[in-house]
Structure 1
């Protein structure tokens, strides 16, 4: 065989390998190239269905929300303007001194007013404006009742004036001119008022006394804020001084009053004296 004849078969075999290799690569690519377009079409179809479902769900939510808002608005309109749920009675709960007539006048809520139109906050403030009232609460009770609950002031002292004897609560509010109940302590200060510092100091001393001592107090006198004294029913006097160290003074008083004497000075609780 010639040299040319030997080379040709060798080149053909190499060429055949290249062909097989080419066909093999083509076979590997063929599934991918066949699936790729089909996969894109499938994903596009699913995306369209999902978007349509989302739009349908949004429409349903919108319709339900709109229907709910419309129903609520209609119900509020009925309750606001209709006499179906209107005031037909007032229920009053109190301590006994403030009369129902006083409360109804201050409440100022007309019968037949729809309950939703009753301003409970403003009504409570009007009732709380009654001098003897410490706190007032106004509530709607459906279908047709307004409930008013009143807490009255409790006197802790009284003071004398040209107009008569004034009752004063623990906050220093002068709320009534009438004879004090038995056992109430007299307050003696230059200007007994709730915004007066001397008055507030005297009331703080009274409040800080031990309960067994406080029930014996007949008078609290405070010419100045630093010169407060307490007189007991039996005539004994507690010289308190200022409100400083009141907790310590209160503890000393309980022990000191067991000693014989007339004047018990705790203005310096470290060095109390008895005369």
Structure 2
């Protein structure tokens, strides 16, 4: 499936497969291992995990056992949102790379601009301190690219004003009806790749009749149309599933939505409410 082999190119020239397999909320152990192996067998070459997910060891084992050369698989992991100091960032990275056991990672992200138990609190100084460690890791080749997650325009501006390397990616919650237009435009203008997590709104879009009507035209599922929509907006989708048939279906998106259908999906803004 070409959608799985197509790539975006980050601002530093590193290529990243256009669809990633998300592992959020998949428990460590057989569930993560089996779903990652299924995704790799189906042709996915981009796996997204995080220290906070607690499943890095199973992701790493699945990648090693797959028999696919390491340099053909793109691995993203994330520094926990609550880590806002240099020592904590170094420690988190060491723990992640030890658990994954895959050598250098391909993309390392700050998981959020604030701890999850204090959303919206001001950690600008801490983010700068963490990012300077990220820059060291990047310069050393320990990670091939660096980025952020859940950052809005203000967060990005304060970070980039005080640091050297512009984030290569910003992974945000992005789906039909919740497209974060301001942040998306800001990133696209600066060649910061936008990655969209929860492209199916953690399953809530699957019953959407407006999307279903469009899907019927193409002989596709609501999930496939929802994922295709991100690709046509130059946003990298990170669908997640533990069901083998759905893992395959989510990547079978080699079709083109007509402009009027993209416009109809654009008009569904607010689907998250």
More strand by share: 1
Indicate the structure (1 or 2) with the bigger Cα radius of gyration.
1
Query: How does the TM-score come out when normalised to structure 1?
Result: 0.20
Query: How does the TM-score come out when normalised to structure 2?
Result: 0.21
**Greater relative contact order (Cα 8 A, min sep 6): structure 1 or 2?**
2
